[in-house]
Amino acid sequence: MIHVAATVEVRPGERDAVIADLATLAPKIKAEEGCLEYLVATEIPTKLPAQAPPRDNVIVTLERWRTLKDSEAHLRAPHMVKFVERNLDRIVKATLQILKSQ
């Protein structure tokens, strides 16, 4: 099983618009071959000493995929390509952390 944490930094004031766009895509993403789970999350403050301060301009998607191939296909899916095109001016930076269950 593959786990993906995608961290998307957006321009100030753009987070809600990008989250709304992701919400419309969620059913298509969840229907993709090999998608086991797809969540959109934002950071929240806590009093845990190990936690970094929350960032108001960051969105994290937490995903579980059956295989790495399924996860890679997700990034090439037409609806994802269009999402990136629509939000290119809103997104500052996106990074992926790909993990494999042991």
Read off the CATH number of the domain in which 31 is found. Answer: 3.30.70.100
Q: What is the pLDDT of residue 15?
A: 97
Query: How many structural domains is the chain composed of?
Result: 1
- Average pLDDT of the residues in 9-27: 97
Q: What is the pLDDT of residue 19?
A: 98
What's the Cα-to-Cα distance from 98 to each of 2, 31, 36, 67, rounded to whole Å? 7, 20, 15, 11
Q: What is the pLDDT of residue 10?
A: 98
- Average pLDDT of the residues in 69-78: 97
Q: What is the pLDDT of residue 20?
A: 98
Which domain does 38 fall in, by range? 2-100
Q: Which two tokens stand for residue 102?
A: 């042991």
- Average pLDDT of the residues in 71-86: 97
- Average pLDDT of the residues in 44-65: 97
